Structures are given as C-alpha cells and as structure tokens.
Amino acid sequence: YPQVGVLKFAVLVRTKQEFCSGVLLSDSWVLTAAHCVVQDERSAGDTGVTVKAGIIDKMDISGRSQERTSSEVLVYPDFKEKMISKFDIALIKVTEPFDLTTDSVDIVGISNQSWPLEPNFFRTCVGFGFGNIPSVDRSEPQRENQMRLKMWTTTAVHNKEACPCTKRFHWRRLICLRETDEIELCQGDGGGGLVCFEGPNPFKGSDHKDSIKKAELFGIAHMTMDKYMCMVTREPTPGCAKIPTISAYMYLCPFKSWLANYVPGVAFNTVSCQGSKLLDAAETMVLVTFLSLQY
C-alpha cells in the first residue's frame, strides 16, 4: 500500500451507485472509466460525481484531502456499455480547481511514446486503485484494507497476443497485464491508472519527489475477463479472487486528440498509436547492408 505523497495523482471517484478510481490530469480535470459514470444507460449527470484527492484511505480524516464535485461529465461519444474495448473513458471537470501546491496532490502526464506491436515487447508499470483486495478472507484486517488505495507493479503488454479472448479490432485499444504476474483488477479499481516507466521503480523507496516526472500514464482500468470461459465483465469483478483472469486497460494513445480538446496540457498525438515494428538482429543486419549499398 502506498504512503501519502507517492501517488499524488490518484483520486477516488464516487457516484450515487458506486465508487471508482481516477487520475488527475490537470487541476480541474479528472480521467476515469466511462462505466464509472454510466450504468445501465443512466448517466450520473454533470453534477452527480464527487472526486476526492490527496488520500490513501476512503475514510480519510487527516485533513489533507481535497474534495470536489463535478460541474461537467464528458463520456467518450462512442462508448458502449458492457462491451470490451468500446471507448471506456470519461472526463470529469470539477467545480473548483484542486490545489497542486500541497505535498499530496499533483497531476500526471499522458505518454506520447509509441508502443511497438511486438509479442516480446512489454513495459514495466504501476497500477493503482481504491478497489477491494484480491482475497475471499473477510477477517477484520482485510475489511480495513478494503478502504485503502492499492498499488501494484506489473508487466503490461499491447499487441495481438496480449489479451486472449479478444479480436483484432479489440487489442488496438487495449493493454493487458501479463497473466504470470497474477494481478487482477477488483471492484473499485475501474478508472484507475496504469503508469509506466523505464529503469528503477520511481514509486518505491523513500524519495518520491521526481516520481511523476519519471512515469507516464498509458492506460485506464477497463475490465476483467475469465481466460478459460472468455466471459467478460463490464467492470473489474467484485470477488476478484479467481485466477487466471485477464485484466485489461484502455490504451490512451488513440484518445489523446479527444482529451486534448478539453484538458489543458494534453498534447495532440504526434506518434502513430499502432507503434513501430521492432527489428530483430537479422532484419537489422539486412537494413544496415541496404543502407550501406545506397551510399
């Protein structure tokens, strides 16, 4: 479980129906999953969402938390409820900007890197959310932990083979966690972020001042799938104790231009979201030889 100030951009998103997780993109805009604000074709409405930042516990009474209500909720126009990869993202604008000068609240940037479509290419990432813990044990310590912000290190993959049970048109908008990591999204983790980095994990250790600069947001928690039955839930599962389960995130690259229309600081796409092909040793040698012959 992270300490205060480690995941400054993680927020709790609440509606009348349920709670979810989210990510702070600017002082006034929060990114979450569309299924968090639309349920059974009913929207929470522009003023029906509460966002809480600066906390690691849902019941925080420390005084460091910042709570805001929504003034506008924007669901991606093509979102289809209960369908895999169908544009499950939403933006929440709050009535009053969050104070980013504190040591517990900050924003995170969306990555502008391409993601090579190769089976052996993966990224090391940290996921987070205010969801249940993945256990069926309901002892007192477990119940207390249901209130906490969770953080996990995982391996994320984005390609044809990454997400079993999906079709070609699905995986272009999906990031899946490697099954061997045995990480499963739980109820309440929906809308939480997937931030990836190169080198040492910036969220571990005692110094987290530069962690936000060293990590970038790549995905938003979308849904889970039973690998054997290929059964899809519209959101992370309540029990979250079944293995093997595939945990899927919405890949944000295809949505950057839409996000840039509303959120200051989010840049329009400058790279192809389909990534570039990595060359193996033999292909590299052929390319070098070809270029040498040209000159």
- What pLDDT, in 10s, does the model give residues 53-77? 999 988 876 778 999 999 999 999 9
pLDDT value at residue 169: 82
Of the candidates 146, 231, 226, 246, the one whose C-alpha atom is nearest the C-alpha of residue 187 is 146
Beta-carbon-side half-sphere exposure of residue 60 (alpha carbons within 13 Å):
21
pLDDT value at residue 294: 42
Residue the block writes with tokens 């229309």: 261
Spell out the per-residue pLDDT of the chain, length 295, in tens.
888 889 999 999 999 888 999 999 999 999 999 999 998 888 889 999 999 999 998 887 677 899 999 999 999 999 998 888 999 999 999 999 999 999 999 999 999 888 876 777 899 999 999 987 755 444 444 544 567 899 999 999 987 777 888 887 887 899 999 877 778 888 899 999 999 998 888 888 665 666 666 899 999 999 988 878 887 765 665 556 555 688 999 999 999 999 999 999 998 887 788 765 443 433 333 333 333 444 3
- pTM (two decimals): 0.86
For residue 278, give the 3-state DSSP assignment. coil
pLDDT value at residue 8: 95
User: Hey, what amino acid is at 5?
Assistant: G
Q: What is the pLDDT of residues 267-287, one digit of tens each?
A: 888 778 876 544 343 333 333
pLDDT value at residue 55: 94
The mean predicted confidence, pLDDT, of the chain is 83
What sign for the dihedral angle of Cα 210, 120, 289, 273?
A: negative
Q: Which fold has domain 10-260?
A: Thrombin, subunit H (2.40.10)
pLDDT value at residue 204: 82
pLDDT value at residue 239: 58
pLDDT value at residue 237: 58
pLDDT value at residue 113: 87
List Cβ neighbours of 37 (8 Å cut-off, separation of 6 or more). Answer: 13, 15, 43, 44, 48, 49, 73, 75, 90, 92
Strand partners, 90: 32, 75
Euclidean distance between CA atoms 171 and 201, whole angstroms? 26
Domain boundaries, the chain: 10-260
pLDDT value at residue 40: 80
Check residue 113 and report its DSSP letter.
Answer: -
